[in-house]
């Protein structure tokens, strides 16, 4: 049985990923709102705000008896849809805290546990909008640039830890969730959160056997 952390597991894609993985693995499901997650032997919901210092989170998980981490899925994400010249410093900082600083710091403090796994896999959930050369949309400068940095971070760490921990980034296209509605009101995505979760689950369990340091676009449409 693998030990897995899924951030942003309270709703949307992360919730579906956590539920599926918990069918045969031990999953720590992190979100601020965990009211939609039913705790079980294999699903451990942990209430945590990732915009604050994430080093504390690993201490909380260690207190729960966590001994190793086989898979860390940095899925939590925040989005602001606002013209570039109206984005306040605090708004920019918040988006970067959730989308970049949290995966950065959480991975740092998870390292001793990832190393205990043998060959751990860190999966960062990026966005097609954060990939160079793809279509871009007004209002998403803070969000998309933070996802671009997350993609680059995955490449950097894959080099630094090659042979012991694999890092990949899944750059998602449009998936029907609250976040998509915030970014593109009224748009109907061609895939549900549950449908996308099938791919993420399979990739998290097996993708590191085939690739490391890759950003893969998982997209039927953008947006």
Ligand X SMILES: NC(=O)c1ccc[n+]([C@@H]2O[C@H](COP(=O)([O-])OP(=O)(O)OC[C@H]3O[C@@H](n4cnc5c(N)ncnc54)[C@H](OP(=O)(O)O)[C@@H]3O)[C@@H](O)[C@H]2O)c1
**Residue of 22, 31, 168, 215 interacting with ligand X (CB under 6 A):** 31
Interface residues for ligand X in 105-134 (CB under 6 A)?
A: 125, 127
CA-based R_g, the chain, Å: 16
| 150 conformational bin, left if phi > 0, alpha if psi -120 to 50, beta if neither | alpha
Which of these segments, 25-33, 59-67, 155-163, 207-215, binds ligand X (CB under 6 A)? 25-33
**Residue of 180, 197, 201, 205 interacting with ligand X (CB under 6 A):** 180
Q: Of 73 and 205, which has the nearer Cβ to ligand X?
A: 73
One symbol per residue from 40 to 79: x for binding ligand X (CB under 6 A), - otherwise; what is it? ---------xxx-----------------------xxxx-
Q: What is residue 43's DSSP assignment?
A: E
Interface residues for ligand X in 83-102 (CB under 6 A)?
A: 98
Give the side-chain half-sphere CA count within 13 A for 100: 18
**Which segments of 139-222 does DSSP mark as H helices, in order?**
141-160, 178-183, 193-206
**Which segments of 24-140 does DSSP mark as H helices, in order?**
55-63, 89-96, 102-115
**Residue of 4, 5, 6, 14 interacting with ligand X (CB under 6 A):** 14
User: Which residue in the block uniquely carries the two structure tokens 């599926």?
Assistant: 20
Binding-site ranges for ligand X (CB under 6 A): 8-14, 31-33, 49-51, 75-78, 98, 125, 127, 172, 174-175, 177-180, 189, 193
């Amino acid at each position: 049985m693998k030990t897995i952390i899924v951030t942003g597991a309270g709703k949307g894609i992360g919730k579906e990923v956590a539920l599926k993985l918990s069918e045969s693995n031990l999953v720590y499901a992190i979100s601020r709102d965990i009211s939609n997650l039913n705790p079980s032997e294999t699903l451990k919901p942990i209430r945590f705000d990732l915009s604050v210092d994430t080093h504390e989170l690993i201490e909380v998980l260690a207190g729960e008896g966590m001994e190793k981490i086989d898979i860390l899925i940095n899925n939590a994400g925040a989005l602001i849809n606002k013209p570039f010249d109206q984005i306040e410093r605090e708004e920019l900082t918040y988006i970067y805290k959730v989308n970049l600083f949290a995966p950065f710091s959480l991975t740092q403090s998870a390292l001793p546990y990832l190393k205990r796994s043998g060959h751990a896999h860190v999966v960062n959930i990026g966005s097609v909008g954060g990939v160079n050369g793809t279509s871009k949309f007004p209002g998403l400068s803070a969000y998309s640039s933070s996802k671009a940095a997350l993609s680059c971070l995955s490449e950097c760490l894959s080099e630094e830890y090659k042979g012991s921990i694999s890092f990949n980034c899944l750059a998602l296209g449009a998936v029907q969730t609250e976040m998509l509605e915030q970014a593109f009101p009224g748009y109907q995505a061609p895939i549900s959160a549950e449908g996308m979760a099938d791919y993420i689950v399979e990739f998290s369990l097996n993708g590191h056997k085939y690739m490391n340091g890759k950003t893969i676009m998982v997209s039927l449409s953008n947006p």
